[in-house]
């Protein structure tokens, strides 16, 4: 079996790709959990200057609408995260396909 040589440029490209993938995951997780927690906070009762559209004083005076918008953004973030994980799993399965042609060594 032949070993593949890596150059410094290809190593840097892989590190940059890994950095951006990690940054993407952090941003998506932050979007998902941040907006999910913010949607819950908007409907909590609190002292406010205006009554919200549901008829009580809450953290946000546009409570049902802002909650729906934030919750839908949270769902969008979770969907993006699930698609990203599925794509990573699919790519990792493709990179291991060549092992099926190798001989398997068993221990006695």
Query: What is the arithmetic mean of pLDDT over 34-40?
Result: 94
Residue 104 lies in a domain: no
In a domain, 94, yes or no: no
Q: Is 55 left (phi over 0), alpha (psi -120 to 50) or beta?
A: left
Q: Would residue 80 count as lying in a domain?
A: yes
Q: Indicate the SS3 state at residue 58.
A: strand
The answer as to whether 78 is a domain residue is yes
pLDDT of res. 107: 59
Domains in the chain, number: 1
Q: Classify residue 39: in a domain, yes or no.
A: yes
Give the pLDDT confidence score for residue 104 in this predicted structure.
Answer: 52
Domain residues for the domain of 59 are 31-88
Residue 105 lies inside a defined structural domain of this protein: no
Distance, CA of 71 to CA of 68 (rounded, Å): 5
Domain membership flag for residue 35: yes
Indicate the pLDDT class of residue 105, thresholds 50, 70 and 90.
low
């Amino acid at each position: 079996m032949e070993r593949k040589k890596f150059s410094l440029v290809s190593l840097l490209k892989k590190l940059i790709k890994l950095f951006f993938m990690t940054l993407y995951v952090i941003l998506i997780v932050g979007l998902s959990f941040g907006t999910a927690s913010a949607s819950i906070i908007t409907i909590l009762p609190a002292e406010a200057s205006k009554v919200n559209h549901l008829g009580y004083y809450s953290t946000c005076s546009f409570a049902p609408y802002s909650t729906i918008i934030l919750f839908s953004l949270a769902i969008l973030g979770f969907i993006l995260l699930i698609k990203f994980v599925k794509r990573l799993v699919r790519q990792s399965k493709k990179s291991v396909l060549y092992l099926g042609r190798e001989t398997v060594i068993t221990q006695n």
